Structure 1
Amino acid sequence: MGFFPGNYVAILDVGHGNCCVISDNGVTSVIDTGLGTSLLEFLSERGITTLDMVLLSHADQDHISGLIHLLASTEFSIGCVRLNTDSAKGTKLWKNLVYELETQESKGKLNWEVQLTVDSGEDLAVGNVGLEVIAPGKALAALGPGNKTKDERKITSNSVSAVILLSKSEKPIAAIPGDLDELGLQDLKRRLNGQKRISPVLVYPHHGASSGSSGSAQFAIEICELFSPKVVIFSIGRGLHGTPRPEVVDAIRRKAGRVKIACTQLSEHCSATVPALEPSHLLPVYSEGRGDRKCCAGTMVIDLDDDGELRPADADHGDFIDKHAVTALCRL
């Protein structure tokens, strides 16, 4: 299928949802598992049958449902799963996932723990890629979704999203913040006490939708101040929820200057129609929107063998935008 790096961080096009696959030195792990069978199809295509670790940022369906499909398959083995409790998430899917994890552990098939917070005491790594959990803080996680902070702000599932920083040889690679919201971001900033956590790639929280009462633009400004990204990725499904919101993209461009903005799928804000032909710039790897020609950047890959180069290449993706996204938010 063409070139694909041996060691990589892949931001999968799973439609509306999130999934990040990390593979380094023969070890593969996943942060969030997207919707449906997208992750399963990507792993099958790459010939991957063993996952060392699965981390779930929070309990929303579009971040966890892919794990159900992996657990149901006899083709895959998983070493461990790490997640946080969510007493407010009463969905059938969440309950089924917890029960299935319990069943699989009782059969000796995997290990799972309810611990994905700051200072959880576990050294997380994928090959030579280090994973640092910088949120949620222990106090916010202990209060949990459905509760309120002492200043009466409601804690949601998004508030306690795990924020995970990836690095290799102490060089930052990417920030994966789940669906972090305004409350979670303010808690993180308070605990960092003015420190920045520079990350060249930011997978934007909540797919570029609203993230709190202060406004989407203000949230975008604050999270860009914290991470100073050179690339901002929106994992979106075309035609779903109007993401990314135009005011979010505008705020990022104003705050971060020459930042590259890329969406996995082609937002309707950027083009009312999809291309007539399959885009030729996509990587030779699974993308959920490929069949319906809904991709923009599609599945994106950080090449760990090439100093963190992001693919598809800027020039190829830029040509696609020029031809097929006449109202592209990233260009207005």
Structure 2
Amino acid sequence: MPRTAKVATEAVILDVGHGNCAVLRDGSKCVIVDAKSDKLLYQELMASGVRRIEHLVLSHADSDHIAGALRLLPNEDFEVGTVWVNSDSQKDSQQWHELLTLLTALHQAGRLKARLAICDLDGWDLSLENVSIDVIHPTFTDIGHGTGKRGRVRPEITTNGMSVVLRVLLEGLPALLLPGDLDSNGLDQILSRDKEVSAHVLVYPHHGGHSGGPEESFAKILCDAVSPDVVLFSMGRGVFRNPLPEVVEEITRSFPDARVACTQLSENCHAGTVPEGERGYLLNRPAAGNKGNRSCAGTVRVAVADNQLVVEPASLDHKRWIRQHVSAAMCESGGNLPVPRPRNP
């Protein structure tokens, strides 16, 4: 009999196309990490009965992580507690400027609190009763220095290297690592601090795109540190042709027992017309890939059942569809269906 996961505590990685958005839910309370699409996020929150957003964490200033916040935050259907952002002197986009202006106005109106700094000292403030959040990166020192080139006492910190990296535990189980667009410089800094980053599911940084260093080396070092059972690429079909083949090849070669999945069907796996085969395994949750039949794993849910972490959609049904309909799936490695090992506290 299939396990029945608890409804009250879950993490939902929304398929928003090329972008990121995770909803960490503890009963009627939630923390949102990044907001690419206000429409899909609105649908998810309304369907799950969430009207109170305790925290919205925006990992960095790129459009595919903040665009949805511009329209979601003024929406009076939701009450928002605190929005967390980090300053970025290198990001000079109109959208980023508009978001900072909006946060100022909403803070002054008493609609929410706006925090212009999030670092490794803030995990306790972000956590809910059954959802623990550890801020892995950046540190207080990183925030103090800000982005910029290497100086006398500080390393180079790029916009992506300053991405907020969160480790999420559901009911004490290490469920997720959410690294935003973390690059090789940022990863080097994290590893030098000997922080605990292991997690059942790794949402791969930068949608499987370029990391600023040798891609195979970055993938192996990151996965060695995280030891994930599932590696998920949040990406949009037809955008930048992510994930990079060399990234997926390294993961499937070095970590053959890990499940590798993409929210949407990569053109590197299946070029041309998308297959029309029935995707009965997909969750009944909002997903950008529902339009145009572009889904692969679609929106993904992580929850707890029998003191173990469960990932939906199930690997077996998803892989069966891939083998029937996808011409050159990068995630296949030797034809074996990986069985996730139990992840204990």
Q: TM-score, normalised by structure 2?
A: 0.89
Compared with structure 1, are the counterparts of its residues 170 and 45 closer, same or farther at alpha carbon in structure 2 (3 Å cutoff)? closer
Compared with structure 1, are the counterparts of its residues 219 and 150 closer, same or farther at alpha carbon in structure 2 (3 Å cutoff)? farther
In the aligned structure 2, how far is the partner of 1:244 from the partner of 1:223?
A: 15
Q: Is the 8 A contact 1:161 1:179 kept in 2?
A: yes
Quote the residue 2:336 is aligned against. none
Aligned-partner residue type, residue 118 of structure 1 = D
SS at match of 1:304: strand
Residues 1:292 and 2:292 are matched in the alignment? yes
Quote the residue 2:328 is aligned against. 327
Quote the residue 1:310 is aligned against. 311
Q: Is the 8 A contact 2:31 2:55 kept in 1?
A: yes
SS at match of 1:72: coil
In the aligned structure 1, how far is the partner of 2:192 from the partner of 2:229?
A: 24
Residue number among 159, 162, 180 corresponding to 1:160 in the alignment: 162
Q: Is the 8 A contact 2:29 2:50 kept in 1?
A: no
Residues 1:30 and 2:32 are matched in the alignment? yes
Residue number among 50, 53, 56 corresponding to 2:55 in the alignment: 53
Q: What is the aligned-residue RMSD (CA, Å)?
A: 2.0
Q: Runs of 4+ in structure 1 displaced over 4 angstroms? A: 149-154
Q: Is the 8 A contact 1:174 1:200 kept in 2?
A: yes
Compared with structure 1, are the counterparts of its residues 149 and 186 closer, same or farther at alpha carbon in structure 2 (3 Å cutoff)? farther
Aligned-partner residue type, residue 297 of structure 2 = A
Structure 1 residues not aligned, in runs of 5+: none
SS at match of 2:96: helix
Aligned-partner residue type, residue 246 of structure 1 = P
SS at match of 1:298: coil
The more displaced of 233-242 and 71-80 is 71-80
- Map 1:124-203; keep pairs closer than 5 Å: 124-150=126-152, 154-192=156-194, 196-203=196-203
Quote the residue 2:212 is aligned against. 212
Quote the residue 1:242 is aligned against. 241
Question: Among the aligned pairs, what percent are the same residue?
Answer: 37
Deviation at 1:296, TM superposition (A): 0.1
The more displaced of 153-162 and 263-272 is 153-162
Q: Is the 8 A contact 2:281 2:317 kept in 1?
A: yes
SS at match of 2:77: coil
Quote the residue 1:282 is aligned against. 282
Deviation at 1:203, TM superposition (A): 0.4
SS at match of 1:184: helix
Deviation at 1:305, TM superposition (A): 4.6
Compared with structure 1, are the counterparts of its residues 278 and 96 closer, same or farther at alpha carbon in structure 2 (3 Å cutoff)? farther
Q: Is the 8 A contact 1:137 1:187 kept in 2?
A: no
The more displaced of 113-122 and 91-100 is 113-122
Aligned-partner residue type, residue 28 of structure 2 = G
| Alignment size in residue pairs | 327
Q: Is the 8 A contact 2:16 2:37 kept in 1?
A: yes
Compared with structure 1, are the counterparts of its residues 277 and 121 closer, same or farther at alpha carbon in structure 2 (3 Å cutoff)? closer
Aligned-partner residue type, residue 223 of structure 1 = L
Q: Is the 8 A contact 2:123 2:133 kept in 1?
A: no
Deviation at 1:150, TM superposition (A): 4.2
Q: Is the 8 A contact 1:25 1:127 kept in 2?
A: no
In the aligned structure 1, how far is the partner of 2:292 from the partner of 2:7?
A: 26
Deviation at 1:23, TM superposition (A): 0.8
In the aligned structure 2, how far is the partner of 1:243 from the partner of 1:261?
A: 13
Deviation at 1:325, TM superposition (A): 1.4
Q: Is the 8 A contact 1:165 1:175 kept in 2?
A: yes
SS at match of 1:308: strand
- Map 1:81-96; keep pairs closer than 5 Å: 81-96=83-98
Deviation at 1:268, TM superposition (A): 0.6
